[in-house]
Amino acid sequence: MRSAVLLVAALAGSAMAAVPAKPTPHAGPSLPGEPVELKTIDGWTLKAVFAPSVPGKMTLLLLHGTGQRKEDWKRLAFPLTRAGYGVMAVDLRGHGESRTSPSGEEMTWKKLRATPTANDFADMSRDAEAAVAWLAGQGVPEDSIGLIGSEVGGSIAIRYAATHQKVPLVVMLSPGMRWQEVLTPNALRALKRPIPTPVLMVCSEADKRSSKEVPILHAFAKAAVGERYATLIMVPQERGTRMFNAQRSLVGQVIDWLGNPIAPEATAVSTSPLLGGTTSMDKVRALGEKTLIDDTGTPPPSLQPGDDSDE
């Protein structure tokens, strides 16, 4: 009896072994390009992925938000490379694969400080510097390296551009007055220079915080670089890189702007009535501009710091 049981078990095992295993589906690369390693001036080792541009095209440095990682740029990165742009997506300090601090301790973004006196998030400007230095070492001209940042990554991008005049353009997804205590108004003011830096801001109407602050930031940008160099795109839903998932057309809009970031000069058209005077549309426009300009002096007290974490 025992022999019969063993024989049946052996036959069953042979049958199971004869069934071919189902092939594991290939998920494809999470980002275009090859992995690279960056060293910051203050001792962090950062992981990134780089795909070079075609000749004559810009390279875009992608900076994610708090609690996110370089792979969150997948929805934008692949279309950028198909359009010929170079792409470098970085895991900022404390995020993704970039968790080894200068002391050797593993440090996640939840351990990073964000205070007025000690701010590890503000130090991410050094992460951008390390990325640009690596690209320059590969022969990529600094004046062809644009920055695209999401939430606090956008704050880092604009602060980097404020102190590096060769930056050709900046894109800020869901910009804020002070993501993780990294302030942006003064950085926008600093873009007022002989050669303006085009700025694109993308914000969701559903994002209560950013949608409230972005008109003020857009006014700062227009005052610094001029109307033609400051562009605002509003979309219905989501925040940061997730806006690309919710609004598929947004990827195309961003790529179109990258190709032509300076708006054409408006054709002079008279809006005055036949008998002269100021039209009602002129009054509305003037009132709106005055409101924004007044707001830019001192941010309203309702604008409080917040957390852009993606938990």
pTM for this prediction? 0.78
The pLDDT tens digits of the residues spanning 123-181 come to: 999 999 999 999 999 999 999 999 999 999 999 999 999 999 999 999 999 999 989 88
Phi, psi of 274 (to 5 degrees): -60, -35
- The CATH H-level superfamily of 27-264+286-297 is Alpha/Beta hydrolase fold, catalytic domain (3.40.50.1820)
Query: In terms of C-beta density within 10 A (0-12 exposed, 13-18 middle, 19 or more buried), how is residue 94 classed?
Result: buried
Joined together, the tokens standing for residue 155 give 């704050």
CB contact set of 145 (below 8 Å; sequence gap of 6+): 58, 59, 60, 61, 132, 135, 136, 166, 167, 168
The pLDDT tens digits of the residues spanning 253-288 come to: 999 999 999 999 876 555 554 443 333 334 333 333
The pLDDT tens digits of the residues spanning 92-135 come to: 999 999 998 898 888 898 888 888 888 888 899 999 999 999 99
β 199-204/86-90 pair status: unpaired
Alpha carbon distances (Å) from 238 to 73, 180, 204 = 15, 19, 6
Confidence at residue 280, expressed as pLDDT on a 0 to 100 scale:
35
Q: What DSSP assignment string belongs to 2-23? A: HHHHHHHHHHHHHHHHHSPPPP
Query: What are the extents of the domains in the chain?
Result: 27-264+286-297
Mean pLDDT for the chain?
83
